[in-house]
Amino acid sequence: MAEILIPFEIMLLLKSNKLNGFGLDIMRLGFNEILEISKPRIIILLVITAVTSMYAASKLVAGAAALDYWMYLHIIVAGTLASAGSSALNHFYDKDIDPKMKRTSSRPIPSGRMKESHVLIYGLVVSCVSVIYGYFALNSVSAFFIALGIFSYVIIYTVWLKRLNPSNIVIGGIAGSAAAWAGWSASTGSMDGLGFLVGFLVFVWTPSHFWCLAMKIKDEYAQAQVPMLPVVIGMQRTSKYILGNTLILLPYSLMLSAFGMGIVYTVIAAASGGLMLVYHYKLTKNPTSEFAWKAYKVTAPYLTIIFVAVALDAAFHFPLF
Q: State how far the alpha carbon of 152 is from the alpha carbons of 25, 133, 167, 241, in Å.
A: 30, 19, 14, 23
pTM above threshold 0.85: yes
Q: What is the pLDDT of residues 146-171, one digit of tens each?
A: 999 999 999 999 999 999 999 999 98
Q: What is the pLDDT of residues 219-257, one digit of tens each?
A: 999 999 999 999 999 999 999 999 999 999 999 999 999
Class of domain 36-315 as given by CATH: mainly alpha
pLDDT level of residue 29 (50, 70, 90 thresholds): low
Q: Which residues of 44-60 are buried (b: 16+ CB within 10 A; e: fewer)?
A: ebbbbbbbbbbbbbbeb
DSSP 113: S
Q: What is the pLDDT of residues 176-214, one digit of tens each?
A: 999 999 999 999 999 999 999 999 999 999 999 999 999
Above 60 in pLDDT, residue 21?
no
Question: What integer pLDDT is reported at residue 12 of this predicted model?
Answer: 53
Amino acid identity, position 312 = L
Mean pLDDT of 74-96: 98
Find out whether 313 and 264 touch, Cβ atoms under 8 Å: yes
Strand partners, 262: 319
How many Å apart are CA 39 and CA 80, to the nearest integer?
A: 10
Q: What is the pLDDT of residues 122-138, one digit of tens each?
A: 999 999 999 999 999 99
